[in-house]
Structure 1
Amino acid sequence: MEHRLGGNASPSEASGILSRWKLLIQETLHLTRDTLSALVGAPRQFEPQPLPQPRPRPIRNRHPSPPPRRQPKPELHPQPSSSSQGRQETHTGLPSPPSTHATTLSSSPTASLLGSYTQLDVELELLKATQERDRVRKRPHTREHIHAKAHKDKLAQIRQNDLDDMQKELYEMHRKRGFSSDYSDFQDFIHFRQRLERLQNLEVLATSRSLSDLRAKAEADERARRHSHEDYSRYWYKRALAHAKASIESPKPFRPSTSFFDQLQKLQAAKDQEIEGKLRPKVQPLPDRLPPDDEAKVASLLLRRGVISKCEREQVTDKDLSRLNPRAWLNDELINFYGQLILSRGEGRKENQPANGSGRAITPLKVHYFNTFFWTKLKGDGYEKSRLAKWTKKIDIFSKDVILIPINHNNSHWTSAAINFRKKRIECYDSMGMDQSAVHRGLRAYLDAEHRNKKKKPFDFTDWVDYTSEDFPQQENGYDCGVFTCQTLESLARGAETFAFRQSNMPYLRRRMVWEIGHAKLWEGS
């Protein structure tokens, strides 16, 4: 007993501990019997089982530790051990209650209690199995109604008809506001818009630093998870219809009376704009088709196989060039090749070449072009981890007029951005009109990190603004965003203030881009 009590317990202390153990086992037994009696109707008497003889253990001088809270179940049929004929102890996993040298557990009431506890445990397990069997037998019948499938199909058809009606109504409203594409392109545009909004919500939720924005986006994300794609489309159409009706039917806002000084400022601004429009060369509208000879060259280029054209380190194959056919998305190879054409044109011309007034032959600016992987690395790993300082090891971007950057959003949408040093603006151009605040923040962070790395001091953002064009041309389908991006970058490289292309010019611009890539130079005509 000394090895259980630490070797320093007196007989009186051992007797007290034994009494407490007996009381604990008796309370457990009474509670178990009461529970079983309530379940089966009447208590049962059980005969105690003989307890096994323990194996001798070495005596260790340890401090007594409290018994574990959870007690494992005892063996159902314990067998006596032949290695010891003296004291006996239970194999319940509990530390055996202390006893004197003259008293053994085999003759104490503890053995009887533990034996009854073993039998009660068996009865409880049998009772649980019986209750589980009865519960399975009473399980209700789950067979569907014979008309359940027909009802679900009819309900799905009704919902689809509602979505089609809302889509047609929204299409008519867009036609009143200047939408020029057909209904199939409008459907692609709507689906593309829904996908971009979902991706943007997830992106803002992951990167937002505002607690209010996080709460709002979390609630929107929870609603999206709670509803299916069909319910989300219904919600999106209702919201779009409400916005369209509000913009068409709402009266013009009330304009309070302004002071005489404000009126003079408006008149002066109108005159300045009129003078600037007269001095600025007029942008000629784009034609519908290329000249016949160039159209024939485009047709022959689309029939070629293998590598079609090379420019510096960029090249385009026939698979890449086929993406300039109608209703196809542009890939990285096409956009990077077109960016290299823009960069080569700026480096190959003199800085002060006069303009000829055609609208396209404006003096090219000193530009630098970052390929499509720049924004992916900046957004994903940051300036230091992506080692973006090596990208400009031989180039001083702060000596350029404008830095051109194509951006791929989640591998789903192309937009264009620019760091305009002439106008002190960080510019973003999106043909879908989505929020570009994340791009503004990312380019500001890059500009400051690059200035600290090259100039050894922070960048001065005094008078710098985040610019988004309000009248930027908008696409009317889900596949022309790459063409919009290339034409935007080309116009910014010429220093153009306005953009001459529209959605109706996309078929012509796709054919012209095939000619430009095939000849490895930009189009110089009208």
Structure 2
Amino acid sequence: MSIDGFPWQTFLLGDINILTSPHAQLNDTCINGCATLLYSAFLPNAASCAILSTHDLPRIRFNAEDDTLWRNLSWTRFWEKSIRILPIHRSLPVGHWVLCTIDFHSQQLFLFDSLAEQKPWRNDVKDITQLICRLSSLATQRLGTTHRDHGDWTAHPVLLEPRQTNGYDCGVWVLAQMAAVLRGYEVTGIEECNISRFRHYLCVLILRIAALG
């Protein structure tokens, strides 16, 4: 399905089964596809945000060419957005999803980890700042925009205490935090006892769009 300017999103039966399973960790398709649906659900407030893909930071880490970055990111019109939302997957020591909110007005990175770990962010922040610089340079080269990455960026954890106690809900937590940011909040108010309800809400969004299609 294609909606609100996002590329075509396809949820296979296996992806839907992951979302409906109470103990399954979300995959890239679930994160990226549900991000699209959340953006549409919270318009017009969400219009100030650009949602980046789970694949964008790996492209920076593996030195993707400018043409590749531009082809995969220009549709977001990121140069017009004051907020960029970046889901990140950490493969080591175990698979874990986290989220970075990039605020250009305040030059701040807001780091969300449902386990409230801070040390693993060190390498991520280095790559995120490189992503910011690469995208600003691309927008200047392709569109003549003014560089927006000047000045010193600061990084701040959103959570100081963990919200998650299991090993599988991190992707759902990332989408819950994403929903909060799209609505203009700094942090999700969902508690762990209600995270399964949010997982169900994501399934409802998918089925609703599928029915309309």
Q: TM-score range by the shorter chain?
A: 0.7 to 0.9
Larger helix fraction of residues: 1
Alignment-derived partner of residue 257 in structure 1 = none
Say whether 1:384 aligns with 2:65: yes
1:513 counterpart (194, 202, 205): 202
CA contact (8 A) 2:181 2:187 kept: no
1:332 counterpart (22, 28, 41): 28
Query: Structure 1, residues 407-428: CA drift from partner, whole Å, max 9, x if none?
Result: 1111711111121123321222
Larger strand fraction of residues: 2
TM-score, normalization by structure 1: 0.35
| Separation of aligned partners in 2, 1:376 and 1:407 | 9
Which runs of structure 2 are paired with 1:340-351 in the superposition (5 Å)?
340-345=36-41, 349-350=43-44
Letter paired with 1:397: F
Which runs of structure 2 are paired with 1:215-364 in the superposition (5 Å)?
310-312=1-3, 313-324=8-19, 325-345=21-41, 349-350=43-44, 363-364=45-46
| Separation of aligned partners in 1, 2:160 and 2:122 | 18
1:503 counterpart (186, 192, 195): 192
Letter paired with 1:384: E
* Superposed displacement of residue 455, structure 1: 1.7
Letter paired with 1:494: R
The CA RMSD over aligned residues, in Å, is 2.5
CA contact (8 A) 1:452 1:459 kept: no
2:107 counterpart (424, 436, 457): 424
Say whether 1:407 aligns with 2:84: no
Q: 1:472 to 1:374 in 2, by over 3 A?
A: farther
Q: Which of 1 and 2 has higher RCO (CA within 8 Å, sep 6+)?
A: 2
Letter paired with 1:446: L
Q: Helix, strand or coil for the counterpart of 2:34?
A: helix
CA contact (8 A) 1:383 1:449 kept: no
* Superposed displacement of residue 382, structure 1: 2.1
Letter paired with 1:403: R
Q: Helix, strand or coil for the counterpart of 2:124?
A: helix
* Superposed displacement of residue 332, structure 1: 1.5
TM-score, normalization by structure 2: 0.80
Query: Structure 1, residues 192-216: CA drift from partner, whole Å, max 9, x if none?
Result: xxxxxxxxxxxxxxxxxxxxxxxxx
| Separation of aligned partners in 1, 2:161 and 2:66 | 34
In structure 2, list runs of 5 or more residues that go unmatched.
none
| Separation of aligned partners in 1, 2:149 and 2:16 | 43
Query: Percent identity, aligned pairs only?
Result: 21
Q: Helix, strand or coil for the counterpart of 2:40?
A: helix
Letter paired with 2:164: Q
Query: Structure 1, residues 34-93: CA drift from partner, whole Å, max 9, x if none?
Result: xxxxxxxxxxxxxxxxxxxxxxxxxxxxxxxxxxxxxxxxxxxxxxxxxxxxxxxxxxxx
Which runs of structure 2 are paired with 1:200-211 in the superposition (5 Å)?
none
| Separation of aligned partners in 2, 1:513 and 1:461 | 37
CA contact (8 A) 1:402 1:419 kept: yes
Q: Helix, strand or coil for the counterpart of 2:24?
A: coil
CA contact (8 A) 1:407 1:415 kept: yes
Query: Structure 1, residues 454-496: CA drift from partner, whole Å, max 9, x if none?
Result: 2257654325311212446521011111110111111111111
| Separation of aligned partners in 2, 1:332 and 1:512 | 18
2:168 counterpart (464, 479, 490): 479
CA contact (8 A) 1:365 1:401 kept: no
Alignment-derived partner of residue 151 in structure 2 = 462
Bigger CA radius of gyration: 1
Q: 1:427 to 1:513 in 2, by over 3 A?
A: same
Which runs of structure 2 are paired with 1:14-53 in the superposition (5 Å)?
none
Report how many residues are paired: 197
Q: Helix, strand or coil for the counterpart of 2:10?
A: strand
| Separation of aligned partners in 2, 1:430 and 1:444 | 18
| Separation of aligned partners in 1, 2:59 and 2:193 | 34
Query: Structure 1, residues 306-336: CA drift from partner, whole Å, max 9, x if none?
Result: xxxx444112132211212211111112111
Q: 1:512 to 1:453 in 2, by over 3 A?
A: closer
Query: Structure 1, residues 122-160: CA drift from partner, whole Å, max 9, x if none?
Result: xxxxxxxxxxxxxxxxxxxxxxxxxxxxxxxxxxxxxxx
Alignment-derived partner of residue 188 in structure 1 = none
Letter paired with 2:183: R
1:433 counterpart (89, 103, 116): 116
In structure 1, list runs of 5 or more residues that go unmatched.
1-309, 351-362, 522-526
Q: Helix, strand or coil for the counterpart of 1:405?
A: strand
